[in-house]
Amino acid sequence: MAFLRSMSKPDVTPMILGRGVYLRNPQPGDYGPWSDLRGASRSFLTPWEPTWPSDDLTRTAFRRRLRRYQREIREDQAYPFFIFREEDDALLGGCTLSGVQRGVQQ
């Protein structure tokens, strides 16, 4: 997973390509589609996540989320991705590779 270490460089935005989809780091411009999708998916997400703060879908909360993502990447602890449909670049969801441990486990 050495390719993931490159994510900490600000000028690099890795993209992982799949069949009809691609994964990339969340970016500030993703706020609108992210907020719409997350709001529409709330009933599905609620059992799997901690209690949502009252401002969860605000732009300010999204910026806080992006800062946390960057910290986790920088500390080599987690790698968040948004999933997009290749055909129209629609945001479909997200996933995070977390619990990264380096050293003997690697």
Written as tens digits, the pLDDT of the chain (106 aa) is 555 554 444 455 679 999 999 999 999 999 999 999 999 999 999 898 889 899 999 999 999 999 999 999 999 999 999 999 999 999 999 999 998 888 776 6
| CB proximity list for 52: less than 8 A, separation 6 or greater | 42, 46
Place domain 2-98 in its CATH homologous superfamily: Gcn5-related N-acetyltransferase (GNAT) (3.40.630.30)
Can you give the pTM of this predicted structure? 0.81
Strands 21-24 and 91-98, bridge-based pairing: unpaired
